[in-house]
Amino acid sequence: MKKNLFIAATAVLSVIVLAAGIQSDTGIAGRTGAPSETTCNTTNCHNSFTLNSGIGSVAFSCDNMPNWAYVAGTTYHMHFKVKRTGTSLFGCGVEALDSAGRNAGSLLVTDLTHTTSKLATIGANTRKAITHKLNGGASPDSMTFNFDWVAPTTGVSVTFYCAGNCANANGSPLGDYIYTTTQHVVPDVPNGVSLVENIRSSIYPNPAHDRISLSYFQHESGQIAVRLYTLNGELAKDFLNEFRTAGEYHDQFSGLEQLSPGIYYLRIENGIASSIQKVVIL
């Protein structure tokens, strides 16, 4: 009987120690909610509450990237703020990925006191994440995790996937809140100039008011998608998504007068290659 009690007590103690390690250890890569990933709001982890519930919040920002349009090879100063009144310990995980789920650009640790970087293998990709250090997020009511990002040298669309933990520092994963957000960034290119990854295209007129004419060459047969995005990376118009054989095409898309005047990005992609052009709508 005493032996059984000892084994039970040892097991309980092991669970407590393990939980404390999870709660206050450095962050885990591959938990940002990016494609093919989970978050820490999962079974046997920080899942006491529904994802993105409660009074907490997360916010992603950058000092030197106007309109979320980057210049290739430039270093940007990024900030990820995790906030919940009454909370004293916060965690983070941030990844920068292209549309294929690969690392896009380079994430750099600039705050050695509070952050570190870790790797996770997701499918065929090894993804790098900025995460918190042990107790690196100890701060009353909110914590801002700072790091740098060096933009890709090729013009690809990039999405930042961010997850924040508002922990109650009780030595276990119970009672913590997990929040997520994303931020889409695009290459900054001159009006009407195609930043080509392997699709040749042109737009007329540009600036435009109610419609645009798009000419492009499809090198291989396959699914082609033409979409218009705002500078914040939000989908404004889904013009085309269909299978087309290889060859040259001339399409006309209307309905631009329904959009607010400003600068947009037209992205053409076929699963293998893509082209991005800046479009001004009057």
Q: What is the pLDDT along the chain (282 residues), one digit of tens a residue?
A: 444 443 333 333 333 333 333 334 678 899 999 999 999 888 778 888 999 999 999 999 999 988 788 888 899 999 999 999 999 999 999 999 998 899 999 999 999 999 999 999 999 999 999 999 999 999 999 999 999 999 988 778 899 999 999 998 887 888 899 999 999 888 876 554 444 444 667 888 989 999 999 888 777 778 888 988 887 778 899 999 999 888 888 999 999 999 999 888 888 877 666 677 788 899
Q: What per-residue confidence (pLDDT) applies to 271?
A: 64
Neighbours of 29 (CB within 10 A): 21
- Are 170 and 87 within 8 A, CB to CB? no
Domain ranges of the chain: 2-187, 195-281
Question: Distance between alpha carbon 24 and the CA centroid of its chain, in Å?
Answer: 24
Q: Which residue, among 221, 276, 282, has the nearest Cα to 247 in the 3D structure?
A: 221
Under CATH, what is the fold of the domain 195-281? Immunoglobulin-like (2.60.40)
Q: What per-residue confidence (pLDDT) applies to 139?
A: 96
Dihedral sign of CA atoms 43, 46, 48, 53 in order: negative
Q: What per-residue confidence (pLDDT) applies to 272?
A: 62
Q: What per-residue confidence (pLDDT) applies to 174?
A: 86
Letter string b/e over residues 163-174, b meaning 16 or more CB atoms within 10 A of that residue's CB: bbbbbbbeebbe
Residue 94 phi, psi (nearest 5) = -135, 130
Q: What per-residue confidence (pLDDT) applies to 118?
A: 96
Q: What per-residue confidence (pLDDT) applies to 19?
A: 32
How far apart are the C-alpha atoms of 223 and 100, rounded to whole Å? 16
Question: Distance between alpha carbon 238 and the CA centroid of its chain, in Å?
Answer: 21
Under CATH, what is the fold of the domain 2-187? Immunoglobulin-like (2.60.40)
- Are 168 and 19 within 8 A, CB to CB? no
How far apart are the C-alpha atoms of 109 and 174, rounded to whole Å? 29
How far apart are the C-alpha atoms of 165 and 83, rounded to whole Å? 9
- Are 161 and 95 within 8 A, CB to CB? yes
Alpha helices in the chain (DSSP H): 2-24
